[in-house]
Amino acid sequence: MPELRKDPIIGRWVIISTERAKRPDQFTTRAQGGPPEKDCPFCAGKESHAPAEIYALRPEHSRANAPDWEVRVVPSIAPFLRIEGELERKGEGLYDLMNGIGAHEIVIECNKHVDNMGDLSQEQIAKVMNVYIARMRDLEKDERFKYVLVFKNQGWSAGGGRVKHSRSQLIATPVNPKRVKEELVGARQYYEYHERCIFCDLIQQELEVKERLVLETENFIAVAPFAARFPFEVWILPKKHSCDFTSIDAEMRLGLGGIMKKVLAKLEKGLNNPPYNYILHTAPFRRGKAGYWKSIDYDYHWHIEIMPRLTRVAGFEWGTGFYICPLAPEAAAKFLREVEV
Amino acid sequence: MPELRRDPIVGRWVIVDTDHPNHPKDYEYEPHRSHGGVCPFCYGNEAMTPPEIDAVREPNTHPNTPGWQVRVVANKFPALQIEGELEKRGLGLYDMSNGVGAHEVLIETPYHNKDIPDLLNSEIESFLSLYCRRALDLAKDKRFKYIMVFKNFGAAAGASLEHPHTQMVALPMVPKNANEEIKGAHNYFEYRDRCIFCDMIRQETQDSGRVVLENQHFICFCPFVSRFPFEIWIVPKKHNGLFCHMPAEEIPSLAAILKGAITKMKALFPNLSYNFLIHSSPVNGDGHTDGYHWHIEFMPKITRVAGFEWGTGFYIVSTPPELAAEYLKKAKI
């Protein structure tokens, strides 16, 4: 009998399909080629092939756009949203619209031609986290923006580009996105009722039950969520409660680098470089203004969701918002625990 | 400057690229290819599927033998199972339920390689009538609250079999996306005493340049807030909440407009994979149904959904619906 499971935060149901279930090792992926390394615009020495940098981690006295950087941020050459202009809202009959103000930046995670983040060092991934934080703090100063989404599209079928050089993206939006709101509202409702953070409760339950636990480190846990939408979906959560990713200290950043590396390396090795997306879930910009509830510091908990893209989202998922997951998260977690990295 | 547009029903924002819109030739998509092999949905292989639930057949032919034009069977790998009572339970923080529901497959035609544009109107009418007949029958089961009809065509759109078919799932609860839409429409109705879809039809027919096709009973347009480039909706002109209550005289109009729309779509995008789904009111009295209006949403599979869409629920539409409609209007039937 298939099982329906409900995500406790946003109320989304998923079907854990036991009938069409596959074994963990049946999810294979095909390697896809990309342009040769010499044509990569993201490697050190090719700075002029990408737009001028917005930000970079560089040694002292190094100049902008010189090749001795460690992590580099450039504007997207095909931005979804534009940085210039004032936000204008208007109506058109039934419909509402506004101009597409926003920022769209590319974070180049290393200066060598490495495809997978899991192959970078723990320290290097921690530097990437530093850069995310620096960029988010800078974008927060721009009052037009309400939220910054940090995400990665790895591999073509996850929406990534052809060039095999590890990078992530950052998009600042002038409105709080619907998905983000749903999660915030769900967490707040739980807090109003229980006076506890739902994510803290979730961490506690997962540490007790253990069957969905992929990895535990000093400061973080990696779990296959109870209501996983995708096979091998993994969430990384800090054990210590905090709603705001940008507030974590250097030790936590290093710890995050470590667990990200291990989880991504397990996915890469166990599933043969699967395409995946990861998304940083964190509190919106608050700027001490009205419009945000006071309890957000207590009710929300930042985390990272990693979604391997091994199944195709079809009509049923689009129509219902119900996902059919052909692998129980318990089986996925067991498989990933056993992949040695 | 790109434009942000907000869906008046569910409040979702999308980003429409009006500066550097993509044209049909700019889309790099996985073409649908036929791989052949033994097909459980072809004539003579009826024994390979679970037994027939309903069919349109030649007189004097027997169930589970050739001679059918449309055939409905249970899904061999159901996402949900028909037997049992719904049992909901908790597990610490978490809620769960057993997977009670129905999952049926409607084989639209005996021809393995005929998609909707290749069928006669009368053939399309007969499978559309069967959609309604099956939905009415499933709705008699009081455990079911929502009946979802959808089609995945082509592997890129999630079809696991290439023989054209539609799936029908009866669910024990109203799913989240449907619920949001129904609630949004209900709120609008409460406020204005009008159906938002009826208002939308009025607005679309007046100005918009987004209408692709129109006939006696239906209108087909690219919605102002498309989530996907070249997304189209087919909406009945007469207000009606449940698709399975569609009057018989509307079916030929629906067959014609569906065929016309998909033919145009495939003229722009050869070997296209696509999804369509029927959005309809819940059954057995769950949820707000005032002011809801059934319709079909059609999504060509020409883009990939990436991290930004997953994370935000914001969609990026690289061809404005006005431009998509222009291409579709010009495309040949």
Rounded-to-integer distance, Cα A184 and Cα A223, Å: 20
Give the separation between CA A329 and CA A331, rounded to whole angstroms. 5
**The amino acid at B152:** N
Using one digit for the tens of pLDDT, what is the confidence trace for B99-157? 888 999 999 999 999 999 999 999 999 999 999 999 999 999 998 999 999 999 998 88
The pair of structure tokens assigned to A293 is 């509830």
Question: 275-304 in B: which are within 8 Å (CB) of A?
Answer: 275-277, 279, 297, 299, 304
Percent of chain B with pLDDT over 70: 99
Could you report the per-residue pLDDT of B243-257, keeping only the tens digit for each?
999 999 999 999 999
List the Cα angle B37/B38/B40 in 5-degree steps.
Answer: 140
pLDDT in the model for residue A19: 58
Confidence of residue B287 (pLDDT cuts 50, 70, 90): low
The larger pLDDT score, comparing residue A255 to residue B159, is at: A255
Q: A115: closest CA among A76, A154, A150, A152?
A: A154
Determine the 3-state secondary structure of B51 from DSSP. Answer: coil
Helix, strand, coil percent values for chain A (each to nearest 5): 30, 20, 45
Mean pLDDT estimate for chain B = 91
What are the DSSP calls for B168-188, one per residue? EEEESS--HHHHHHHHHHHHH
- For residue A16, the chain B residue with the least C-alpha distance is B79
**Neighbour count for residue A301 (Cβ, 10 Å):** 24
Sign of CA dihedral A285, A288, A291, A293: positive
Query: What kind and span of H or E run contains B304?
Result: none
Q: What is the pLDDT of residue B242?
A: 93
Chain A nearest-CA distance from B110, in A, is: 22
pLDDT at A308: 92
Decide if pLDDT at B286 tops 60.
no
**B34 DSSP 8-state letter:** -
Burial class (CB in 10 A: 0-12, 13-18, 19+), A98: middle
- CA distance to A253, B46, B119, B129, B146, per residue, from B71 (Å): 58, 10, 16, 12, 22
| B residues 169..188 contacting A (CB < 8 A) | 169, 171-173, 175-178, 180
Nearest to B81 among A2, A8, A226 (CB): A2
More confidently predicted of A313 and B276? B276
Please report which confidence band the pLDDT of residue B327 belongs to, taking 50, 70 and 90 as the band edges: very high
Predicted confidence at residue A88, as pLDDT, reads 85
How large is the ipTM?
0.82
**Residue found under tokens 């709705």:** B139
| pTM as predicted | 0.89
Q: Do A312 and B97 make contact, defined as CB atoms within 8 angstroms?
A: no
Look up residue A177 and give its DSSP letter: -
Q: Tell whether the model's pLDDT for residue B85 goes beyond 90.
A: no
DSSP B310: H
pLDDT of residue B274: 95
CB contact under 8 A, B276 and A279: no
Cα separation, A19 vs B75, whole angstroms? 11
Chain A contacts in chain B segment 221-280 (CB below 8 A): 224-225, 275-277, 279
At B35 the pLDDT is 85
What residues of B are in contact with residue A194 (Cβ under 8 Å)?
none
| Cβ atoms of residues B163 and B192 within 8 Å | no
User: What string of pLDDT tens digits covers the 341 residues of chain A?
Assistant: 667 788 777 777 777 766 555 666 676 666 677 888 888 999 999 999 999 999 999 998 999 999 999 999 999 988 888 888 888 888 888 888 888 889 999 999 999 999 999 999 999 999 999 999 999 999 999 999 999 999 999 998 888 888 999 999 999 998 888 888 889 999 999 999 999 999 999 999 999 999 999 999 999 999 999 999 899 999 999 999 999 999 999 999 999 999 999 999 999 999 989 999 999 999 999 876 655 667 889 999 999 999 998 887 777 777 777 888 888 999 999 999 999 99
Q: Which has the higher per-residue pLDDT, A27 or B19?
A: B19
Parallel, antiparallel or unpaired: strands B274-279 and B146-153: antiparallel
Note which residues in 194-213 of chain B have CB less than 8 A from chain A. Answer: 196, 199-200, 203, 207
pLDDT confidence of residue B7: 83
Predicted pLDDT at A284? 92
Which of B196, B198, B179 shows the shortest CA–CA distance to B188? B196
Select from A15, A178, A321 the Cβ nearest to the Cβ of B99.
Answer: A15
Q: Tally Cβ neighbours within 10 Å of residue A292.
A: 16
Q: Is A94 on the interface with B (CB under 8 A)?
A: yes
